[in-house]
Amino acid sequence: MLDSAVKNDLVTIVGEDRYIDQIEILTCYSYDSFLEESMPDAVIFPLTTEEVSEIMQVASKSGVPVTARGAGTSVCGAPIAAEHGIVLCFSKMDKIIDINTRDRHVIVQPGLINGDLQRALAPLGFFFPPDPGSMNFSTIGGNVALNAGGPRCLKYGVTVDYVLGMQVVLASGKIVRFGSKNIKDVTGYNFTSLFCGSEGTLGLVTEITLRVVPQPETTQTLLVTFDNLDNTAQAVSDVIGSGILPVSMELMDKMTINAIEDSVQLGLPREAEGSLLIEVDGSREACDREREQIIEKVQEHGAVSIEEAQNQEDRDRLWAARRAAYGVFAKIAPDILSEDVTVPVSKVPDMIRKIYEITGKYNLKAGVLAHAGDGNMHPLICADRTNTIEWMRVEKAFREIFVAAASLDGTLSGEHGIGLAKAEFLPLVMDQNSRDFMSLIKNAVDPDNILNPGKFV
């Protein structure tokens, strides 16, 4: 419970409707899509930057922790109020402030759902490239704070590549602006990049200017299957290594394909050991040329079948299968742990072998799903947290997967972030001096450590 004087100050700012402290509602804000839980003392729904600033002035004066929250779809525990205090939920700040296709930018509030932005841009012939699997329910603020990626980020890059400017409320309540509306801007430190991926530990983003791009003339989609997972992974490494740059190269192993078919029956070939969902876009000529080059490469690696989407309906079906790939694992066991170690693309075959070796050693039910073209793996382990012995094996397996990724010049996270899930593993990929530098920045910006405390920094 917050001190009653603090509560009064906060209610004065937002009113009673947007200040929640009933236990049954707080519970809904105590978890994300990871496994940890921690109860906040209050959830507040701001409507304006000024309100956020006033809330932060109260919080900093009283030393109450503040954890930002978008839609709570993080899979690393990032929006969990680890040290209780206030959850500041941005879901009511969800407006598109301006769409300017002539200058190729949009200005949005942080609570806007990514998919709503895509739907607003599509009729104008534009899109916002970052497309996390959660795009229909995650927010732009969450995408920025976790520097989200997605299938088409192989060609187009991740969220940070599209953030031109932002308005931020600092721990003290001070309002600052970084960047601008310009595609090119090297005026001072690049703070917009620093805030992308900062997981709400440096400031609260209340307005974002994003670069948008015109839709390509055409898109072509292929589903390629293999009778050997190693060949599937080698094909990815070879296509990318040969200089072709598809929009997406999504890998699914046999367990993933079958989990999808068991749940949603979209006609994926159950017998395949590995499959690649590959998309190219651009002019018709460029797409035809790239498609032919890709077909040649995957055939060299023993592709068993190649299905080309004939129309939008086919394309939607293939992508529906891929987007279902996370949720369908819930049928296999009560808990799913999904990580996102990332390795250089030439090491994708080694990393997949390692994942199988480790999960096999610990006798775990595991599938592999990957944004394989950029080396971003999602090993998914299905287990039961209440089975302590099994859960110890899960934890050991993940530690070894992180160690294996680090030994292959990889990293802990390609897109999901560190949050609570991976903080203890940071030393595997970041030396002490680099971690100290990160702490130095955090201490300078948030000296009382009230912004999302208890996380990776």
Ligand X SMILES: Cc1cc2nc3c(=O)[nH]c(=O)nc-3n(C[C@H](O)[C@H](O)[C@H](O)COP(=O)(O)OP(=O)(O)OC[C@H]3O[C@@H](n4cnc5c(N)ncnc54)[C@H](O)[C@@H]3O)c2cc1C
Residues found near ligand X in the complex (CB under 6 A)? 32-33, 67-75, 78-79, 90, 110, 132-134, 138-139, 141-143, 145-146, 148-150, 199-200, 204-205, 326-327, 415-416, 452
Structure letter (DSSP) for residue 414: S
| Cβ nearer to ligand X, comparing 67 with 275 | 67
Please say which residue, 278 or 304, places its beta carbon nearer to ligand X.
Answer: 278
Nearer CB in complex with ligand X: 287/345: 345
**Minimum distance of ligand X from residue 158's CB (angstroms):** 8
Q: Please give the C-alpha separations between residue 54 and each of 79, 173, 179, 240, 452, in angstroms, as whole numbers.
A: 21, 6, 23, 50, 18
DSSP secondary structure of 326-374: TGGGGGT-SEEEE-B-B--GGGHHHHHHHHHHHHHHTT-EEEEEEEGGG
Q: What are phi and psi of 306, to 5 degrees?
A: -135, 115
Report in angstroms how near the CB of residue 358 gets to ligand X at its nearest. 23
State the nearest-atom distance from the C-beta of 88 to ligand X, in Å: 8
Minimum distance of ligand X from residue 72's CB (angstroms): 4
Task: Tell the smallest beta-carbon distance from residue 417 to ligand X (Å).
Answer: 6
User: Which residue's beta carbon is nearest to the bound ligand X?
Assistant: 142
Q: Which is nearer to ligand X, 199 or 350 (CB)?
A: 199
CB of 337 to ligand X, least distance (A): 13
Residue 366 φ then ψ, to 5°? -140, 145
Q: Which of 225, 200, 151, 162 is nearest to 378 (CA)?
A: 151
- Nearest alpha-carbon partner for 296 in 226, 353, 239, 380: 239
Nearer to ligand X, 169 or 272 (CB): 169
Quick check: 68 and 141 in contact, CB under 8 A?
A: yes
Output the CA–CA distances (angstroms, integers) from residue 305 to 216, 223, 288, 292, in the order listed.
Answer: 27, 8, 18, 15
Cβ distance 76 to 65 under 8 Å?
Answer: no
Integer Cα distance of 269 and 137 in angstroms: 29
- Could you count the other beta carbons within 10 Å of the beta carbon of residue 432? 8
SS3 69: strand
Q: Between residues 75 and 343, which has the closer beta carbon with respect to ligand X? A: 75
Helix (H, G, I), strand (E, B) or coil at 449: coil
Radius of gyration from C-alpha coordinates of the chain: 22
Q: In angstroms, give the least distance from the CB of 304 to ligand X.
A: 27
Q: Which is nearer to ligand X, 14 or 298 (CB)?
A: 14
Q: How far is the CB of 151 from ligand X (least distance, A)?
A: 7
Complex with ligand X: residue 117 or 298, whichever CB lies closer: 117
- Return the number of the residue (291 or 416) whose C-beta is nearest ligand X: 416
Please, where are the H alpha helices in 369-450? 388-407, 432-445
CB of 96 to ligand X, least distance (A): 15
Provide the terminal-to-terminal Cα distance of the chain, rounded to the nearest Å: 26
